[in-house]
Amino acid sequence: MSQASVSDRLRTDEPSDLPQRVREAVRSVLGDGAGPFALHEPEIGDLEARYVNDCVASGWVSTVGPYVDKLEAALGKTCGVSHVFATSSGTAALHLALEALGVGAGDEVIVPSLSFVATANAVSYTGAVPHFADVDEWTLGLDPRALKVHMDDACVMQAGECRTKATGRRVAAIIVMHSFGHPAEMDAIAEVAAQWNVPLVEDAAEALGSSYGGKPAGSLSRVAALSFNGNKIATAGGGGAVLTNDAAVAARVRHLGSTAKQPHKWEYVHDETGFNYRMPSLNAALLLAQVERLPDFIKRKRQLAARYAATFCSVSGADFMGQPPGARSNYWLNTIRLAVKARKERDAVLEVLIADGILARPVWEPLHHLPMYQKCPQADLPVTERLAVQLINLPSSPKLQAKVHG
């Protein structure tokens, strides 16, 4: 469906029976089972058990060992990057990525307000300040046009550095988050970043296996972060990874993420304050199996997404959010957009879905609404405010496609 036709549908007045219409549409995809239908649950099988048992038997269960090395190599191949550092969480990965770029106190980092809180938290861990920008109606990622307008108005170049007119702080990075697995408009965003000499960072936590312009998410910027939480398309139970093609950034990430310990056969010499962010081998063994199964996960998730998309074509007042032009999405979380204007109207749909065992969820609370970030600098955020009461995530586990056809 074209963006224009989606826009026309969303201008339709909300039907009074919208909650029931949505419930019936979702049920037609998920079937008549009793549920509950989780938002996203892992699929753990024999391969994962075999790798974890082998890891246990080897005794290499901590943060070094063959499974960590194998995992980092597999992720590098999957994501098209030369350097991978496996971490204890996606937030840790994003924090390390920013630290490796030299982001710190006295800086600002531009982030989308429509994102999970970890995006802004990682900025705060460095001592820098999040600076919130608006997102695009259709990609749900940073809007490059709005970003350019805002930076042209709010920023100035001084001695080759981008600084904000209001605070004089350096804009040390721009974080792009690929929402629900849908890649943002990276080419246009990169043009804005280059104009202002600001490095791009991908929060690709949700986008493993997605691509933009034929290139994997996580390879589209100077440095990127992945997440392998239990609800992600591939899971280590917990965990993350830093991705980069920059050897200097990779070396910095590995040093800082390994407690800043100097190599030595026996001495414990740490030359700066580092972080204990390494992924244990047990998690790496589980995740390696998941990465090897990733193509099948994505195939089934895309089949499920196609069923949702076809079903919602005939639902007045709601539409399915498909992958953006030029992108291929892993459809981590299938998402619908409602033709509503108030939170209570969206919540009425959620109430009906959850009462029927369909464990749908709203989009995140915009970050600039959260108490710790309300005083942070921000652009105009009209699209973020609008989408915050319109988006709902639907059950998206890859195993649901098997149930549909089972």
Phi first, then psi, for residue 318 (nearest 5°) are -150, 150
Q: Using only C-alpha atoms, what is the Rg of the chain? A: 21
In this prediction, residue 4 has a pLDDT band, given cuts at 50, 70 and 90, of: very low
254, pLDDT greater than 70? yes
CA distances from 241 to 111, 202, 222, 277, 304 (A): 19, 12, 14, 10, 27
- Give per-residue pLDDT as tens, 34-72: 889 999 999 999 999 999 999 999 999 999 999 999 999
Three-state DSSP class for residue 302 = helix
- Give per-residue pLDDT as tens, 286-317: 999 999 999 999 999 999 999 999 999 999 99
Kind of pairing between the strands at 107-112 and 170-177: parallel
Among the CATH numbers 3.40.50.720, 3.90.1150.10, 2.10.240.10, 3.60.150.10, which is that of 3-43+294-405?
3.90.1150.10
- Give per-residue pLDDT as tens, 136-182: 999 999 999 999 999 999 999 999 999 999 999 999 999 999 999 99
Average pLDDT over residues 238-254: 98
* Lowest mean pLDDT, pick from 10-14, 134-138, 343-347, 349-353: 10-14
1, pLDDT greater than 50? no
Average pLDDT over residues 335-354: 97
Phi first, then psi, for residue 275 (nearest 5°) are -135, 140
Comparing C-alpha atoms, which of 153, 103, 170 is closest to residue 379?
153
Three-state DSSP class for residue 291 = helix
Quote the tokens at residue 330. 């892993």
235, pLDDT greater than 90? yes
In this prediction, residue 10 has a pLDDT band, given cuts at 50, 70 and 90, of: low
5, pLDDT greater than 90? no
Per DSSP, the residues of 223-271 read: EEEEE--TTSSS--SS-EEEEES-HHHHHHHHHHHBTTBPP-SS---B-
The pTM (predicted TM-score) of the whole model is 0.94
d(CA 96, CA 377): 23
In this prediction, residue 405 has a pLDDT band, given cuts at 50, 70 and 90, of: low
- A 10 A CB-CB count for 296 gives 11
Comparing C-alpha atoms, which of 36, 183, 198, 31 is closest to residue 110?
198
In this prediction, residue 33 has a pLDDT band, given cuts at 50, 70 and 90, of: confident
326, pLDDT greater than 60? yes
How is domain 46-292 classified at the architecture level of CATH? 3-Layer(aba) Sandwich (3.40)
Comparing C-alpha atoms, which of 82, 331, 73 is closest to residue 210?
331
**pLDDT at residue number 35:** 83
As a whole number of angstroms, the longest Cα–Cα distance in the chain is 71
Tell me the average pLDDT of the chain: 95
87, pLDDT greater than 80? yes
The domain limits of the chain are 3-43+294-405, 46-292
Contact 42, 286 (CB under 8 A): no
Q: Specify the DSSP element, H or E, that contains 382.
A: helix 382-387
**pLDDT at residue number 406:** 52
Contact 202, 237 (CB under 8 A): no
For the chain, the first-to-last Cα distance in angstroms comes to: 28
